[in-house]
Chains A and B, each alone.
Chain A
Amino acid sequence: MERRTFLKTVAAGIGASILPATAEAQHSTTAKRVIVAGAGITGLACAYELMQHGLDVTVLEASGRYGGHVFTGHDGLSDGLWADYGADHLTRPGYEQFFRYVEAFGLEAAPYPNAEGSPLPANNGQLTQIGGAFYTDAQLADPATLRMLGFNAKEVAFLARHPWYELPTLYLADHIARFDDPSQPFGNGYDDLDAIDLDTLYARQGASQRARDALGGQHVNALYGVWRFAVMKERGIPLSEGETFHLKGGNGEMPKAFAARLGARVRLDHPITAINHDADGVTVTYTAYGRDEPQTMRADYLVNCIALPVFRRIPVTPALSPAKQYVVDNVTYSSHPFFVFEAESKFWLDHGFTNLAMSFEHPDIQSIWVVPEAAGATRVILKAFGPSGLSPQRVLAAFREVYPGKRDTIVQALTHDWSKDAFAPTCEMEPFASGTLRQFWPEILKPDGRLYFAGTYADALSRGMESCVRSAARVAKEIADA
């Protein structure tokens, strides 16, 4: 596809999405019937888009709660405070489709500086622990420090003038500039990069071991890595990933807004137990809450918006094509918890720190940052990043080991263990491994007969909730146009 055509297609898919409700009537003659599997952010957005296209849609959700991995929790917190235990933040730029919904639904996005380790705003009191010592942004731009850390002369000169997150451009600027058609990875003159990982590419380009450690390209398909930077450039997303925001009241406000508009179309506690498909449509077997006997529902199309590791437990008859089955069985996801601490005060201010935005080298806690205060609350919410399965108390103990200040005022430590969540255990898609991109792309976007697929993995740029809602809008349009 030509770049211009691709852009037009993408713009059409998104532009058509937020239509006034009266547009439903204009399309109602088509009356295609669609079942959306899963009421996470993808399924809800897809159902909303299908509804806007005038299609007859039903969402079947296995759990008793919609939203999936977008989850704002209030339990255990005082003063009406809340915390996002799943999707943490939005970025600007980078969340264009998502922000269209924010506007259309009258939601409010609030600045959330340095969210989840975001480098923006720069020089905002962040501290990075390296070799046991803590460094400010300014110290990390100091040539003496950079040399001491092991960067080569070229890197020292670059990092003295650019923030660390721009380091990829030192070695890949030419690759990115010559990537003509970011709508797909192949055919841009770099197909051979599918065979190696990004770390190997950085090494070939002359990166020091220290830079390679910081860049972290091991296990990342080099073609995928370069392509990703090219798509980000195309979409105007800087290497900082943009400024960070969250929704006022929590990111759970977005699934709530979709669900409010979908009304009775969303059926909670209706797990799908089998999918049968043929040339004319799809028959889904499911159990309704409180009933033992299975029921069936027929539709013209099904959109799978369930994360693939959960979806593949559902029998599909006839079986998916081998190419599609490969995708379903081999897409890998990240899965990690957030640890939420409630503190009585901004204790770090008393210890001489202007911000609590720190990254650590402790195995039980990698970073901590502050969630902007809610109006009227004197208490404050902190979020920490640590390994799955640990108790919040253990992560808090790790924080107390490494925090460079004095006594904190944390009085509560909570988490949501996604690894124990039967229906939404996974977060974002992990990069493809070297040598595998051809098996995933473009199959990862394709339907299998009447079964369509949307989710964080089903977009040219797998990137948080934006890729969920973009893939949802794309698939809804494909079905409406079919």
Chain B
Amino acid sequence: MLKTIGLSIAALSASSFAVLLHAAPAATGLTVDITSPADRSRLPWDAQAPYAVAVSYDGKSTKYDEIPADAVVLRATSLTDADAPSARNAGPLAEGVARISQSNCMGCHDFAASSAGPSFAAIGKRYAGRSNAVTTLAGHIRNGSSGAWGGGAMPPHPDLSPAQAQAIAQWIVAHGNDRAVRYSIGKSGSFRMTPPAKPGPRSGVVLSAFYTGPLKPGDTGKATGRDTVIVYGSGS
């Protein structure tokens, strides 16, 4: 037992040293790498599969927890034609989702299932088409609310600006219940191989990873690295 611990500490020190030697001088750019699953791999439809993302920025990395795990968002988009040229350029991350990852929303909400609070999908479904839905929800986010869903209360979020609360509410109302686009927060976790309405041989899920943490003034946040991978679906 002692020997194993000794060895693993030695291995860890050696690898940290190597990173310092090679990465320290010029590691100011933003690198986002989906290290798993492999690009152009294949998984059964409806499977829940693990992912891992490594992010480094300004000499800091998720590997050593210098970048917090909640600054990483994975977006999984189901596409009928994952080979289309547009598939890998599916656009930036919605502002609302970035704000969700950075606030404490995920402590009580999940994207598509209940935890302490209702899922964003359930909220999106209930509020879709209602007049003033965004304003109402943004108010609930900022000021808190209770009685709308269950016995628990939504706490106020004075830490979010009105514009940030508005962005979250906009995303929930417009996209919270979109089955084709799902999100996971964290440098590792899982995603689901949700099939599109009519899956074909070129259908798959496009995974895009994003860094939502703070940037230094002047930085654009444009990632380099393997931040998009395509996983084809298989089976019925």
- Contact residue range for chain B? 35 or more
- A313 and B190 contact, CB distance less than 8 A: yes
- Which residues of the partner chain A approach B157 to less than 8 Å between Cβ atoms? 389
Q: Name the contact of A419 in the complex, choosing from B46, B104, B144 (C-beta under 8 A).
A: B104
Query: Given A315-B47, A333-B116, A430–B152 Cβ distance below 8 Å?
Result: yes
Which partner residue on chain B sits nearest A220 by CB separation? B151
- B114 and A363 contact, CB distance less than 8 A: no
- B115 and A421 contact, CB distance less than 8 A: no
Q: Does B107 contact A (CB under 8 A)?
A: yes
Bound-state CA distance A204–B108 (Å) is: 33
Which partner residue on chain A sits nearest B149 by CB separation? A219
Q: Does B212 contact A (CB under 8 A)?
A: no
Choose, from B80-88, B91-99, B181-189, B226-234, the stretch at the interface: B181-189
Which partner residue on chain B sits nearest A307 by CB separation? B115
- B151 and A425 contact, CB distance less than 8 A: no
- Which residues of the partner chain B approach A341 to less than 8 Å between Cβ atoms? none
Bound-state CA distance A364–B186 (Å) is: 30
Q: Does A11 contact B (CB under 8 A)?
A: no
By the criterion of a CB under 8 Å from any partner CB, how many residues of chain A are at the interface?
Answer: 47
Q: Name the contact of A389 in the complex, choosing from B12, B159, B184 (C-beta under 8 A).
A: B159
A317 shortest CB reach to chain B, Å: 7
Q: Does A331 contact B (CB under 8 A)?
A: yes
Q: Name the contact of A425 in the complex, choosing from B116, B149, B188 (C-beta under 8 A).
A: B116
Bound-state CA distance A216–B190 (Å) is: 37
Q: Does A122 contact B (CB under 8 A)?
A: no
Q: Does B39 contact A (CB under 8 A)?
A: no
B216 shortest CB reach to chain A, Å: 24
A142 shortest CB reach to chain B, Å: 29
Which partner residue on chain B sits nearest A217 by CB separation? B151
Q: Does B38 contact A (CB under 8 A)?
A: no
Query: Given A389-B104, A389-B155, A273–B50 Cβ distance below 8 Å?
Result: yes
A297 shortest CB reach to chain B, Å: 15
Q: Name the contact of B107 in the complex, choosing from A329, A332, A335, A433 (C-beta under 8 A).
A: A335
- Which residues of the partner chain A approach B70 to less than 8 Å between Cβ atoms? 420, 422
B172 shortest CB reach to chain A, Å: 17
Q: Name the contact of B108 in the complex, choosing from A218, A319, A425 (C-beta under 8 A).
A: A425
- Which residues of the partner chain B approach A363 to less than 8 Å between Cβ atoms? 144, 156
Query: Given A335-B107, A425-B115, A387–B47 Cβ distance below 8 Å?
Result: no
Kindly name the residue among A316, A363, A417 whose own CB sees the greatest number of chain B CB atoms within 10 A: A363
B9 shortest CB reach to chain A, Å: 8
- Which residues of the partner chain B approach A319 to less than 8 Å between Cβ atoms? 46-48
Query: Given A312-B113, A422-B69, A387–B153 Cβ distance below 8 Å?
Result: yes
- A421 and B114 contact, CB distance less than 8 A: no
Q: Name the contact of A388 in the complex, choosing from B48, B50, B104, B149 (C-beta under 8 A).
A: B104
- Which residues of the partner chain A approach B106 to less than 8 Å between Cβ atoms? 419, 425
Q: Does B218 contact A (CB under 8 A)?
A: no
Bound-state CA distance A309–B113 (Å) is: 8
Would you mind naming 24 contact pairs between A and B with Cβ atoms under 8 Å apart?
Answer: A219-B147, A264-B1, A274-B50, A290-B8, A309-B114, A309-B115, A314-B50, A315-B190, A328-B113, A329-B114, A331-B114, A332-B116, A332-B117, A334-B116, A334-B152, A335-B115, A389-B156, A419-B108, A421-B107, A422-B69, A422-B186, A425-B108, A430-B151, A430-B152
Which 5 A-B pairs rank lowest in CB-CB distance, beginning with the nearest? A419-B107, A387-B155, A309-B115, A419-B104, A329-B113
Given contacts A285-B50, A388-B108, 14 further A-B contacts (CB under 8 A): A309-B110, A309-B116, A313-B184, A329-B114, A332-B114, A334-B152, A387-B153, A388-B155, A389-B157, A417-B107, A418-B107, A422-B69, A422-B70, A430-B116
